[in-house]
Amino acid sequence: MSIVHKEIAAIREDYAKSSLNETDVLRNPIDQFSKWFQEAIASEVTEPTAMVVSSADQKGRPSSRVVLLKDIKSNGISFFTNYNSRKGQEMIANPFVSVLFFWPELQRQVRFEAEVEKLPDEDSDEYYASRPRSSQLGAIASPQSEVIADRKVLEDRVYAVEKEFEKTEHIPRPTFWGGFLLKPYRMEFWQGRSSRLHDRIVFEKQADDWKIIRIAP
């Protein structure tokens, strides 16, 4: 039985766990994000590193997916993927993305609007070397975002890669796989509040500084 629209509309929760004011936030949004991220970990949020990354093709048509944050740097955040995947190709061709973290246990969201660039090879090499061997092999075997006939195709490719590298202790990173750095020029910190009157504090990049504003919910 399908859920009727009135039942969907009746699903609601009042947010009243915390508040956020302009005077509460740190002056740098990456520092503020790091603070909230540590609080998410301390609160045992489910998948605190999960973030929705939205890219767009050259016609402006967007696509979104969940990926995992792997590092917080002084000028942005990073994750790793197959450069030949849909997201990889879109970010290379159109190097701007939006990013969303949602931590429902804390009634918080963080939104990034960011410019994209590839991480240096040494950063990608270092992270790839730290991955479990099975993940390394999977990254090589999977033609990410390409059409395959069935799962057996993927399993056969994994088996072939396992045989190829069975006597290799350190598997080299494939050149088509690596990291992206997302450098924000706008960030929003959203704290749920009662009666949908949420707190929204925005950082906008201005030259080498950040302007802090509040926007209405």
Active-site positions read 196
- DSSP lists the bridge partners of residue 131 as none
Cα separation, 102 vs 168, whole angstroms = 40
The answer to whether 69 and 79 are in contact (CB under 8 A) is: yes
CA of 36: how far to CAs of 26, 33, 125, 187, in Å? 11, 5, 29, 13
Cα separation, 54 vs 94, whole angstroms = 11
CA angle 83, 151, 167 (to 5 degrees): 70
Structure tokens at 146: 């390409």
Which amino acid is present at 139?
Answer: A
Helix (H, G, I), strand (E, B) or coil at 20: coil
Cα separation, 61 vs 13, whole angstroms = 32
